[in-house]
A and B are shown apart, each in its own frame.
Chain A
Amino acid sequence: MSAAPAGDAPYLHHASYWVPAEQAGEYPVRQGDLFGGVQVGDDRWDAAMIVHPTCELGKKSVAEIQVARVRALDDLADDKQRRQVVAGIAEIGGGLRIAFAHTFFLAPVPGSGPDEPMWANLREIGSAPREQLTAGQRVGALTHDARVTFIRRYLYFRFRLGLSFEQVRALEAARIAADPAFAGPGPTWAS
């Protein structure tokens, strides 16, 4: 089953974020996957999400993997900001604006860790030794559909490119179809 937002919303329904735990073993570690207790330099982050390009993760020469710090929604000081991070947008003057572009909202991973929503801070990037970021240590494997929303959000944050979900998904489908090293179950839209 594939998921897409009904309109232009940045995020999917919370039930479409994570590969079910019983299937996650079939999926290699990829960009967007979530890990708990990650050592980044001298700091220990409660959680982190891989932002490193997926195609680099298999290279033995890549010893350090780039991750974004993940924080609990409750770490934010007020309701207004929490709402904007959950939505990724805000209504201002009758228009809908992107809000806090450097954030990527993360739904809780069912059955894994605390049942609380989170957000990745795309401004807070660090490198972690690859030994910490294995499939066995993974808390959540992001679905292919949710990865499309991540790429879309990242494109806007990094390059201010406002592509639609469908455009990013079409690009990702073409990329997957042309990738001989793609492993694990693929999305239905890339077949």
Chain B
Amino acid sequence: MGTLDSKPTTEITHRTLKNEQGRVFREIETSGVVAVRNRDRIDGILMAPSIFADLRSRADDGVRLRAALPLLLAAARTGVAIPSETFEALGIPGREDWKALNELLATVPLTITHGQDGEPLPDLSAIELRHAPLEELDDELTLR
């Protein structure tokens, strides 16, 4: 369990959801995803926490990939070697050229998503930064 697969989703009715909760949760544990049907339509989906976490992770992957995509596409188009784990894993070659790499990065609208240690970078764009001019003493310390 933990990832979506091609197994058909188990369906239950509203009545089952209401009257047989034990069975419903056993079903979720077994199948991962359970659809709640009301006559001819699905009203809702119940899923195991691991499946939900997997979906979230995939959504995050998509967002991350969107951030890197312009750079990857530009690198593929120009043939310049970029620092890319994906290109490395796929064996996509590139020519080493610091100047071309610098030019590529200066012109591609990329978004940095993570800090050096892989921590997601907090969005500080909404914080209003204001420079407050301060008076500064010009004295110097004197050591004994």
Contact = CB atoms under 8 A, between A and B. Distances in A.
Contacts of B133: 174, 178
A95 B102 contact: no
Interface string B108-143: 111111111010011011000111010000101000
A16 B64 CA distance: 29
Instruction: Name the residue among B72, B87, B122, B131 with the largest chain A CB count within 10 angstroms.
Output: B131
Nearest to A3: B106
A2 interface: no
A10 B130 CA distance: 22
Contacts of B87: 91
Contacts of B121: 162
A174 B131 contact: yes
Interface string A58-100: 0101000000000001000001101110111111111111111
Contacts, number: 146
Contacts of B124: 161-164, 167
Nearest to A170: B129
B112 A86 contact: no
A77 to B, nearest CB: 14
A101 interface: yes
Contacts of B106: 5-6, 9, 11-13, 16
A171 B98 CA distance: 30
B83 A107 contact: no
Interface residues of A, number: 50
Nearest to B111: A8
A98 B99 contact: no
Contacts of A7: 70, 108-111
Contact of A95 (B83, B99, B114): B114
Interface of A: 5-14, 16, 59, 61, 73, 79-80, 82-84, 86-101, 105, 107, 117, 156, 160-164, 167, 170-171, 174-175, 178
26 contacts: A7-B70, A8-B111, A13-B106, A61-B140, A73-B98, A82-B96, A83-B83, A86-B98, A86-B102, A87-B102, A89-B112, A90-B83, A91-B84, A93-B85, A94-B61, A95-B64, A96-B68, A96-B111, A96-B112, A97-B113, A97-B115, A107-B102, A160-B115, A162-B121, A162-B124, A167-B125
**7 interchain residue pairs of minimum CB distance:** A174-B131, A7-B109, A95-B64, A94-B65, A178-B133, A13-B106, A91-B84
Given A59-B138, A83-B82, 18 more contacts: A6-B106, A7-B111, A9-B110, A61-B140, A83-B81, A86-B102, A87-B82, A91-B82, A92-B85, A94-B64, A96-B113, A97-B115, A117-B98, A156-B115, A161-B124, A167-B124, A167-B125, A167-B129
